[in-house]
Amino acid sequence: MVCDTLEENIQYCPLPVNEYSGFYSQLWILTNHISSEINKRSMGADILLTDRTIYDPSIYSTCARDNNRITYEEWKMLVLNFVEGIGEHLIYDTIYLFPPLPFDIENDGVRSTNKKFQERVWELFKEFPDYYPNYNPTVLDPGWSTNRLVNDILEIFDDE
């Protein structure tokens, strides 16, 4: 059994991200993530650990649509056409949904420090399973621990 990890690609996006993202930002992030997943799987990864899924751009695209940074037609192309179509083929065995950190995060130029934006993203992630049957995350409570996560991942390996 081969296990591999997938590096998050958002830090390489040459366009604005998070609350400043638009259509091309989300398209870049989504297509790069899909390409990276396919590449890792084609290289023989039986288990792929990744910080993001193809569903993440749906959430961020919805935020961008709600803030008039992308049009409904652009959102529809990204979310309804692209993610739903691809989502049927890139199935995740386990998805963990982490709540926002309970403390202020340092501005690293990638993650948003905007609390209101973080809360909106969190709310959308929690609503997402209502729309996508393949998206069934384990929602970790604010008191989640690294030990629990590691134990859950080790159980996946044991089952394989």
Find, among 133, 39, 56, the residue nearest to 96 by Cα. Answer: 56
Least confident of 38-42, 76-80, 131-135, 150-154: 131-135
List of residues 6+ apart from 88 with CB closer than 8 A: 134
Q: So what's the pLDDT on residue 100? A: 76
Distance CA 45, CA 47 (A): 5
Mean pLDDT of 84-96: 71
Domain boundaries, the chain: 3-159
For the structural domain made of 3-159, what CATH number should be given? 3.40.50.300
Global model pTM greater than 0.85: no
pLDDT above 60 for 135: yes
